[in-house]
Chains A and B, each alone.
Chain A
Amino acid sequence: MPSLPSNQARAQRMDRFMAFLISGGGLLIIGAVLAMLLFIMKESVPLFVPPQSRSMGTLQAPRSGGAWLDESGKAVVLLSRKEGLKAMRVPEGTSLTLPSLSSDGPPLPWRLATPPGPRGDCLVIGGDDRLSLAQLAWSKPAGENDPARWVLEPHWQGGVKLSSVPDAIFHFRLMEAGGLGGGSSLRVVARTAGGLVWSETALEPSATLAWKPIQLDPSLHASAAAWSSDGQRLFVGTQEGRLLDLDPETGQVQSTAEFGEPIQSLGFALGQSSLLVGGARGKLAAYQRVRVNEVFTLQAFHAFPRLGGPVLGFQASLRDKRFLAWTPSEAVVDHLTTERRMFSAPIEGLGVATLAPRGDLILHANEGTGALRLWSLDAPHPEVSFGLLWGKTHYEGYEKPEYVWQSTGGTDDFEPKFSLVPLVFGTLKGTLYAMLFAFPLAVLGALYTSQFATPRLKHTIKPAIEIMAALPSVVLGFLAGLVMAPLLERMAVEVFIYPFVVLLLALLIAPFWSRLPLPFRNAFGTGREVLWMVPVLLLAVALTNFAGPWIERVAMGGSYRTWLQTAMGVTYDQRNSLVVGFAMGFAVIPIIFTISEDALSSVPKSLTSASLACGASPWQTAWRIVLPTASPGIFSATMVGLGRAIGETMIVLMATGNTPILDWSPFNGMRTLSANIAVEIPEAPLHGTLYRVLFLAAFLLFVLTFILNTVAELVRQRLRRRYESI
């Protein structure tokens, strides 16, 4: 091959380089744009990853009757009646040296000690028969991660003298200072030889605790008891399988529930209001005390898969609604709200299990051998499941299962509620009202523009509508929220009767119009009906202004809002669906109009000419020939319009109250998926559950609008091919 002149060679090199650059760049950009979908999906996938657990081995330790894991999961404190407190580093198993028990601790050996709760509090009856409350806590130098340099500082209170040592302590609750005395007091429920007893005492060495018996029905034998969160009520489980809610002072039973098998143990999930009940044959359920028809009742609101033996105890996580339950042969972690079993592992022999406050570490201490078994549990988003997002869920404090979206609350133990149903409902509701308003206006307007308007008129109408498409939605939203909403509130009746007034007026004027000479009508009327109707519309505004207040006075007794309230049982919110429908319709009209108008004007002339030649009137041609032929185009216009309405954010954000409710009434607001994202994502912690749920919502919006637009595009392409073939 002869060598090319150098500039030609350069040109060819350049050509190859640019071909490579553009192909590469183009593919990269397309790939990047499509990777958006994948990224958004990827961010929401961890919501549905099942919990992962792993055994972390077995440690040998002295025999103990209780264990408490630190927040960090790096150290465990073991309680033993003979030796008091011991601490170990986990999972290594090296023991940590503790300073000798301070003088205010009870003398060894202890007569009785309860297993510590998630915050490290337990009751101890010392060798001197005095009762003390211990609050275990590590004192850590700032930023120190090595448990060897931590100091265990148990805070002992009490040393209360006991009238008699009970056989077992069922439950206790520390009542924070509330009374005139100022100090906090302790309520204890226990079992003595004589039966169920309780007492309340101040935590001072000078105090004496005298047990007060609780009179139960003689046929019932208490096997477990727990105080309600305020300490005012006592829940008692019996061997006969009955759960009682009673007042300890009087022994009066307020409500009972049948559990179905002997009750072995009681406990609470985070928040201390869901009562966990474990049976002697492995049944596991959660109860709550809830007001149904003005009466407090014990309601079984969650049930969990059965266990293989008597449920020995419960331990709640301090982070979410998961809890640990164990039997002699099995330890499980269940989630209260989703009823999902997150963890299950076999164990051997009687013992005490505990869950780290973050819920990520499970420890079982065998009472017989002293062996400690450890498991880790990785479940970042246990509170979300498919059923919870899309189904009714029975939340704590609710009377029955409901669809609720409530992502943040005031307290630490608040449980976020992530039902997407109210948001999807709100989206559909807003879209429906917008389409109800926009569809007829846009399609008939397009039909008129394409078939009847004079060419000159057509050339002014189309740009005007295209400008309408360019109106920023934030401006529409502002007008809707701050101008239209108050206006509609003041003039709702007028707005409602306006279409009828226009109709009436048109009917009144029509006879006069038809009396006018035909040449005049043809010269000035045909194709310019729009212009003639403008003064009619204006006149109708004036008439409505007079008629509205009159109708409101005569037919509605002066105020339409009270009328709505009394006659229809509907409340009127200022920022309601009508306002949204109107404003969003405004955003959707130009889209539907433009695409429909294109489809209608490109209907082949041969079809309309044939129809007119057969003697059909222009309207008959438009309605029977043009509209059906172009209907796929109109369908596709509607799809695109729907897509816009579904995703519209600013208008709904500004023109609705953003309350996630399930109500079709046009007079109240809604919260849509898109507005919800805009409201909540700035506050959502990175990679938290809320963050991921919002990404899921964005994914839904993406997929939904993408499908709608694709369907519209395919329909449009087919229509174009059909027109070409005619």
Chain B
Amino acid sequence: MSRLGERFRQGGIFVWFSGTLLAFCLAMILCLVGYIVAKGMGYFWPSPLAQVQTSEGPVLGEITGHEPAHGEETEKLQFRVGNRDVFGQDFRWIPAAGLSTPEYPKEAVLIERLEYGPFIGRVASLSHEGQTVATGTSALQEALKHLPEAERLRHHIQTIEKGQVGDLNRRIEKLRLSRHKLEAKGDVAGLQALDAKTADLQSAYDQLQTSLEQSRAEAKAWTLSLQTADGQIKECPLGSVVRVVPANALGPFGKVRVYLSRLWEFVADDPRESNTEGGIFPAIFGTVMMVLVMSVLVVPLGVITALYLREYARQGWLVRAVRVAVNNLAGVPSIVFGVFGLGFFVYGLGGTIDKLFFADSLPTPTYGTGGILWASLTLALLTVPVVVVATEEALGAVPRSQREASLAMGATKWQTLWKVVLPSATPGILTGLILAIARGAGEVAPLMLTGVVKLAPAMPLDSTFPFLHLDRKFMHLGFHIYDVGFQSPNSEAAKPMVFMASFLLLLVVVVLNLFALNLRRKLRERLGGSTF
């Protein structure tokens, strides 16, 4: 007993205990990151389509979940049955009791469509302008042959709809605004010229519409006739088929191809079906744009502040207090910055800009509503302390001897700073910037108030003058996660998308952080400085 007491007092067991807690922390991190990676990366892999017989008829779909018996609840299997237009829901929970063993029919296909989510079933026939061309397996082969053509046509239609029609609309809107001005002035000749221009644009618009109608009719010429597992027939024009995945018939290479093509679609395409399908390119683009604008704003802000605090200000209690205050800003909740951004930038500055420069289009606000400029400014404020702290540290680490040498040579203070101190401090400033970017990229709360939207009609950077539209709203990866996961009507179907978006965001943030930490470590080793 006394031996046990002795050991207790020596505390070896507590060492083990604290080790266990640490192990638990590490395990949690590993599990979390691993879970996101597995869920996100696994989503695009074509899973087999299983068919089972239930008391209500056959069910065909991917097995996506399994719930063991628990309390009064019996064991259940979750099937992703697709065909939202036929069944009304994408997923079904089916009691495992009384199920036949699953079969994997070779001819089962998963067809990703533009609307109503995927179709899961069999291809019955393919027809061209009402004439049946092929049936059964050959219909599938034939459809695959015509798919690229249909896809090309769809892209063509999309380009016209988004590019040319949008462009025309903008020009007509512009004319409408200048018409107001002319009317106010009473310029009759100008008005007539304007009307002529409007008529021209209108006729161009009508022409586009007719060619669009033609293309649309063409796109509907090829039609697939699809059959669900319980025998219902569904017609689907080939033009609205995104991808045909005969999941059970694919070999490993075919699966890799499907995987890569889905991955590419995810990274490079626009979202569909209220963000639950398709890609997230606009969100990635928006995030990158916002971070870039933020960086452009935050570096001068942070570096000037740090230079002032360390090089120019008289060191005393006031500067110490300011330094503490600036550091503490890093701990102020991001939502507070968001509130400030909304009140000061959006309503205050933006409202004033609108009154001064965009009075024509009022009451529709231009800058007086959330936009990428305001969001970036808000985040720049939020991340300024990070840059200030890193820059100050870097400035402090430049050896005194170097400065003194420069000054002794007769260089002015600014020349010393510009030619000697700042170059050695650049990696430190860069570290600060990277950390600021990593912090900024992961923030969502302030953006929700200052300009992020679930679906932006236009990108903040495009080919129409003035190319960079800082007043536009934008999409953001982090907000996408929140919106699709929590505001979407079909969040169960969208979950894999959210995992993938989380994975992307995590990847960006973690890689940036690792990079910055490494850089900082190397710097510290080189300069031998250290901070508490």
* A interface list, Cβ under 8 A from B: 11-12, 14-15, 18-19, 22-23, 25-27, 29-30, 33-34, 36, 39-40, 43, 440-442, 444-445, 447-449, 452, 461, 463-468, 470-475, 477-479, 481-483, 490, 502, 506, 510, 529-534, 536-537, 549, 552, 558-559, 586, 589, 593, 598, 602, 617-620, 623, 640, 643-644, 646-650, 653-654, 674, 677-678, 681-682, 686, 694-695, 698, 701-702, 705-706, 708-710, 713-714, 716, 720
Give chain B interface residues in 337-356, CB to chain A under 8 Å.
337-340, 342-344, 347
A490 to B322, CA, bound (A): 51
- The residue of chain A having its C-beta at the shortest distance from the C-beta of B502 within the complex is A475
A30 to B442, CA, bound (A): 25
The minimal Cβ–Cβ distance linking A103 to chain B, given in whole angstroms, is 44
The answer to whether B328 and A713 have CB atoms under 8 Å apart is: yes
On chain A, the residues within 8 Å of B415 by CB distance are 11, 14-15
The answer to whether A552 and B71 have CB atoms under 8 Å apart is: yes
Stretch at the interface among B13-21, B108-116, B231-239: B13-21
Is B267 in the interface zone, CB < 8 Å from A?
no
A453 to B449, CA, bound (A): 45
- Cross-chain pairs A/B with CB under 8 angstroms, 5 sampled: A19-B413, A471-B442, A475-B502, A490-B70, A533-B20
- The residue of chain A having its C-beta at the shortest distance from the C-beta of B14 within the complex is A619
The answer to whether B482 and A502 have CB atoms under 8 Å apart is: no
The minimal Cβ–Cβ distance linking A471 to chain B, given in whole angstroms, is 7
* B interface list, Cβ under 8 A from A: 9-29, 32, 35-36, 67, 70-72, 301, 304-305, 307-309, 311-313, 322, 324-329, 331-340, 342-344, 347, 381, 384, 411-415, 417, 438, 441-445, 448-449, 478-479, 481-482, 485-486, 491, 495, 498, 502, 505-506, 509-510, 513-514, 517, 532
The minimal Cβ–Cβ distance linking B76 to chain A, given in whole angstroms, is 12
Q: How many A-B residue pairs have CB under 8 A?
A: 292
Residue in A465, A536, A649, A710 whose CB lies within 8 Å of B328: A710
On chain B, the residues within 8 Å of A558 by CB distance are 71-72
A531 to B412, CA, bound (A): 57
A586 to B27, CA, bound (A): 12
A26-B313, A698-B336 given. 9 additional CB < 8 A pairs? A15-B414, A26-B308, A36-B344, A40-B336, A40-B340, A461-B26, A464-B26, A470-B509, A472-B442
The answer to whether B19 and A529 have CB atoms under 8 Å apart is: yes
The verdict on A22 contacting B308 (CB below 8 Å), with A475-B36, A482-B485, A623-B14 known, is: yes
A552 to B72, CA, bound (A): 12
- The residue of chain B having its C-beta at the shortest distance from the C-beta of A643 within the complex is B331
On chain B, the residues within 8 Å of A440 by CB distance are 21
On chain B, the residues within 8 Å of A619 by CB distance are 10-12, 14-15
Residue in B16, B325, B384, B482 whose CB lies within 8 Å of A650: B482
- The residue of chain A having its C-beta at the shortest distance from the C-beta of B7 within the complex is A514
On chain A, the residues within 8 Å of B305 by CB distance are 25-26, 29-30
The minimal Cβ–Cβ distance linking B346 to chain A, given in whole angstroms, is 10
On chain A, the residues within 8 Å of B301 by CB distance are 29
On chain B, the residues within 8 Å of A695 by CB distance are 339, 343
On chain A, the residues within 8 Å of B28 by CB distance are 586
The minimal Cβ–Cβ distance linking A301 to chain B, given in whole angstroms, is 34
Residue in A445, A506, A694, A705 whose CB lies within 8 Å of B22: A445
Residue in A11, A27, A473, A481 whose CB lies within 8 Å of B412: A11
- The residue of chain A having its C-beta at the shortest distance from the C-beta of B388 within the complex is A29
The minimal Cβ–Cβ distance linking A382 to chain B, given in whole angstroms, is 22
A643 to B234, CA, bound (A): 57
Residue in B72, B343, B509 whose CB lies within 8 Å of A471: B509
A678 to B514, CA, bound (A): 30
On chain B, the residues within 8 Å of A534 by CB distance are 23, 26-27
On chain B, the residues within 8 Å of A620 by CB distance are 9-11
- The residue of chain A having its C-beta at the shortest distance from the C-beta of B512 within the complex is A470
Residue in A15, A475, A677 whose CB lies within 8 Å of B481: A475
Residue in B25, B312, B340, B486 whose CB lies within 8 Å of A39: B340
